[in-house]
Structure 1
Amino acid sequence: MTIATKQALRPAEDRESNDLRGLGYPQELHRKVGSYASFAAGFSFVSILTTVFQLFALGFSFGGAAFFWTWPAVFIGQLLVALNFAALAAHFPISGAIFQWSSRLAGSTIGWFSGWVMVIGQVITVAVAAIALQAVLPSIWSGFQVVGGPGADPSVTSPTGARNAVLLGVGLLVITTIVNVVGVHLMATLTSIGVTVELIGVVAIVVALFSHPERGVGVVMTPQGYTGGPSGYFAAFLASSLMAAYVMVGFDSAGELSEETVSPRRTTPRTIVRALVISGIGGGLLIIAALMAAPSLTDGNLAKYGLAWVLTSSFGEFGGRIMLGAVAVSVFACTLACQTSCSRMVFSMARERMLPLHGLFGRVSPRTGTPIAASVAVGIGASLVLLVNYNQSAIFTALSSLCIAMLYMAYLGVTGPLLVRRLLGRRTGRPGQLDESGEPVFCLGRYGTAINAVAVAYQVLMIVNLMWPRAAVYDLTGNTWWLQWSASLFVLLTLAVGALIHRRNKAAGYLQLRIAHLAEASAG
């Protein structure tokens, strides 16, 4: 970049820094994330190649081919949530978005619990994203199956597959942690490259599968592959929505990078919505194409090995491996985006002295412009979660459902208070707020309350659905009561620990900080 270009960008940088200062914070993080990188952050967290490949087998095993219809249902619900988030991102472009938005809408207590639940849920999400390597790498080359050797069962729910997933996942977390520590520019560059590869991969895989159909598109109107269950098909269909619910979260990651994004009031709202919409369309086509191209829906392979089996069966070992290579890249980008998003949440809460070791986690390296300690802590935390899977292969599906339920709860900590404010006729941002280009910021206008209300109803129903103590999700052993109730028990434990930390914060006077007295100022 030339000196003249840098000088031309300086006024914009100063304006954005002053804007952030008006919201209560100095510009510590380096503002180097452009429009495409902002989109990439949200799209990488959703990462349809990673997550659809990871949980397609689970969704199909519950509901058969008709489980496809959970996809548009979840997409519509999450789109309503994303529209509310986009409006908030335009008014409050701050790192730690869920914590910040919730605090400014409902006060520091609700904000604390929303942020705390989000951090724990995101750490688990990082671990589950890293596990996805096990669904891809051994299918590319059997040598990646280190535990038990190339002939061992690579399924993530088998003992050998579960242990190997831990090894691959921890190795991936070491790499993503290093990238996060080096700087946001490297993170944004690698994420953008990963998203580009993923988009190309999605198009290539969808086109290839549609060109090798074994059956027509009408297959999605049938329950082929459904093997029955004690509670009937509707209960199985609800359970199969776990896949769609797991995939379509994380679009708010663009909001987590607001303090590092150029023109955040204009860029972030658009990238939040764009990431979800493109993911919804691409993921839906991928599911339909896979159901049409699968060699069989009833021999058990699709329910056990998922999309990796479809690709290698339809295009041979060589062709399938090339396509799986794109999936491996998307797994890396997804894990990196998840870890980055979580580290920004930790940083945002720590600079308000809301977390233990806040002096360490709230510190930004002047050289790299990144919260190094927060990034390392998230990497270590996710690695510890992975280790739980080492000797308990049944824990994978439980972790997948649990982490999404917790993210939904944190999201509700934003949309719920936002709905209350709207019903009371209270403003949620400065009237007449303009973005960096001088245009009115994104808002939902007169439809905001209706969109908000339906979004909240959807979230409540989905949280109940995700946390329902299904043995088929939470206890694959069939006889471990604490696994079956693990979601509720873990959430209660998380809230209990959060209550203790919150009590400590209150006793220390930390709740009387900027969040409290900026809540009304920033809203009006």
Structure 2
Amino acid sequence: MSSTDDRRLADLGYTSEFRRDMSLWANFSLGFTYLSPVVGIYTLFATSLAAGGPPMIWSLVLVGAGQFLVALVFGEIVSQYPLTGGIYPWARRLWGRRWAWMTGWVYLVALLVTIASVAYGAGPYLSAFLGIGVSTWNTILGAVVIIGVALAINLAGTRALAVAAIVGFAAELAGALAVGGWLLLTQRHHGLGVLFDTFGAGSGSGYFTAFLAAGLIGIFQYYGFEACGDVAEEVPDPTRRIPKAMRMTIYVGGAAATFVCLALLLAVPDFAAVIAGTSTDPVTGVLTAAFGEGGLRVVLGVVLLSFLSCALSLQAAAGRLLYSYARDDMIAGSRIFKRFSPARHIPPYALLVAAVVPALVVLGSVISADALVKIISFAVLGIYLGFQMVVLAALRARLRGWRPSGPFTLGAAGLAVNIAALVYGVLAILNMVWPRTPEAPWYDDYLVLLSGVAVVAAGLVYLVAARPYEHGAAPAGDAIPQKAGSP
């Protein structure tokens, strides 16, 4: 199969230095740990419950369905273009160099700040696990440790990454099922009817508005499946296995996240206190009541492993995206970032960037925790923007004659799925940028939108000034059939 994969890659204009050491299950595990049900739910559970009450759980179902459409579109693309870096090379083949450069830029910045946000989010859990007080410096130190451990595993090579992903997947899934099952058995204070009871949430602005705000837990949850495609040149038979791994990431990860959320919801003793803001950390309260101090430490260990696995997968994706840029000579420092370790078959300098930049972002909280919040505000928006730039490129290519030719295709349903995926993505982005704090200064109310505009503007300045799209000779825009006589 390797020779077939190599010939397919050569037909696309590349010779890979990666080793195909990642099985279907390892590829799926990489996507699962990136999506990370535990990280997503534990991070935003309190905020979403306070905003929308128990019905916020339905956002996990709605967003999961929308992102599944995106995963189907991505599956068609990676099945035809199984190239390292995912988002960037897909956009390059579907549209062209300029569009690909901007798509990759937005996604790369988003990945780097998401690594910082995940590592920073692990800090308080690490402090609790170690039994020390939560402080800014302890949180920073914990975040840097998470980033450093993830880098060490990534630098060990594809096989080490695959093993770590599988271990992380098994531990997180087992932990989610064990914790959720125990909560349902011992801490269930409500029946399923509460999933349809708002308990007064949104009484001021109307519940639809409150549900949209609470729905950010779903939007934050369902990305990570694209990481399966970021390592396409490290997977045997990627044209078939990666689309399947992407779909598995959505429905297995989504089911796990929904189960964890359900178990936590039914274990919260007082919804009114959370909605009123008097109970700000219901997750820790529920876990302490269920497991005691000793058991809580075991649960925290699983949570920390989930954060580490998530940071590991994000770092792997960011490093390979930067390498993909550099391989096409599309970014400053390409000569360094495309260098390969002959022993471990990974791009060490690209991976180093994926650790150093997030660590610097985390260290910024020493100066101002607000500054860190402002930087991280772009994280999820940037990933969704990158997704939809590819979905739009796919739709444009389809309308201009592209017909997916990989082993996985949607056939006649492809156009409808593509349109639906784009509509969903645009609505999700609007929900993210919508201002919700009119009492705050305008620049805070529009913080997410402003951060997106700033990143796109910086990318445009670089694009115009440095003209990186003029470098390299890799194919671009070739998904669209060329008319007879055209160059």
- Shift of the alpha carbon at 1:517? 6.5
How far is the alpha carbon of 1:137 from its aligned partner? 2.4
* 1:189/1:508 CA distance change after superposition, 3 Å: closer
Match of 2:175 in 1: 201
Is the 8 Å Cα contact of residues 60 and 302 (structure 1) preserved in structure 2? no
Over residues 169-228 of structure 1, what are the superposed CA-to-partner deviations in whole Å (9 max), with x where a residue is unaligned? 112111111222221211211121111111111111121111121010111111137375
Partner SS state of residue 51, structure 2: helix
State the shift of 1:303 in Å. 5.5
Change over 3 Å in CA distance of 1:132–1:507 after alignment to 2: closer
Partners of 1:405 and 1:463 within 8 A in 2: yes
Q: What SS class does the counterpart of residue 286 from structure 1 fall into?
A: helix
Aligned partner of 1:172 in structure 2 is 146
Contact kept in structure 2, 1:103 and 1:519, CA below 8 Å: no
Contact 2:31 2:228 in 1 (8 A): yes
CA contact (8 A) 1:402 1:487 kept: yes
Q: Could you tell me the percent identity over the aligned residues?
A: 28
Alpha-carbon distance change, 96 to 520 in structure 1, aligned in 2, over 3 angstroms = same
- Secondary structure of residue in 1 paired with 2:215: helix
CA shift in 2, pair 1:272/1:364, >3 Å: same
Counterpart pick for 1:464 among 416, 430, 443:
430
| Kept in 1: contact 2:126–2:304 (CA 8 A) | yes
Mapped partners of 1:221, 1:516: distance in 2: 50
Q: Which residue of 2 aligns with 1:107?
A: 96
The one-letter amino acid of 2:475's match is: I
Alignment partner, residue 493 of structure 1:
454
Q: Which residue of 2 aligns with 1:436?
A: none
Aligned to 2:404: 429
CA-CA distance at 1:505 after TM superposition = 4.7
Do residues 308 (structure 1) and 284 (structure 2) align?
A: yes
Structure 2: unaligned runs, 5 residues or longer: none
| C-alpha distance in structure 2 between counterparts of 1:67 and 1:397, whole Å | 24
Residue by residue, what CA displacement relative to the aligned partner does 1:37-57 show, whole Å, maximum 9, x if unpaired?
A: 100110010000112111111
Which of 323, 342, 345 is the equivalent residue of 1:369? 345
8 A Cα contact 2:402 2:480, kept in partner: no
**Is the 1:308–1:324 contact (alpha carbons within 8 Å) kept by the matching residues of 2?**
no
In the TM superposition, residue 99 of structure 1 has moved relative to its aligned partner by 0.7
Residue number among 81, 87, 92 corresponding to 2:76 in the alignment: 87
Residue in 2 aligned with 1:224?
199
- Aligned residue pair count: 481
Q: Deviations over 1:381-417 (max 9, x none)?
A: 1112212333444466655552111111110111112
Judged with a 3 Å threshold, the aligned counterparts in structure 2 of structure 1 residues 194 and 508 are, in CA distance, closer, same or farther, namely closer
**Aligned twin of 1:123:** 112
Kindly provide the amino acid, as one letter, of the partner of residue 359 in structure 2.
S
For the pair 1:286 / 2:260, whether they are aligned, the reply is: yes
Alignment match, 1:20 = 9
Aligned mates of 2:468, 2:235 — CA distance in 1? 36
- Structure 1 position 336, deviation (Å): 0.2
CA displacement at 1:307 relative to structure 2: 2.2
Cα 1:256/1:193, change in 2 over 3 Å:
same
CA RMSD of aligned residues (A): 2.4
1:515–1:502 Cα change, 3 Å: farther
The TM-score normalised by the length of structure 1 is 0.86
Moved more, 54-63 or 195-204: 54-63
How far apart in 2 are the matches of 1:228 and 1:393?
Answer: 31
Q: What is the match of residue 250 of structure 2?
A: 276
Q: Check if 1:449 corresponds to 2:410.
A: no
Distance 1:415 1:94, change over 3 A: same
In the TM superposition, what are the counterparts of 1:130-209 in structure 2 within 5 Å?
130-143=119-132, 150=133, 154=134, 160=135, 162-209=136-183
1:354/1:505 contact within 8 Å kept: no
Query: Structure 2 CA distance, aligned partners of 1:239 and 1:166?
Result: 28
Give the aligned partner of residue 330 of structure 2. Answer: 354
Residue 438 of structure 1 aligns with which residue?
A: none
SS for the counterpart of 1:276 is: helix
Structure 1 residues 453 and 519, CA gap change in structure 2 (3 angstroms): closer
3-state SS of 1:516 partner: coil
Letter paired with 2:9: L
Aligned to 1:513: 473
Q: Secondary structure at the match of 1:102?
A: helix
One-letter code of the match for 1:269?
Answer: P
* CA shift for structure 1 position 455: 0.8
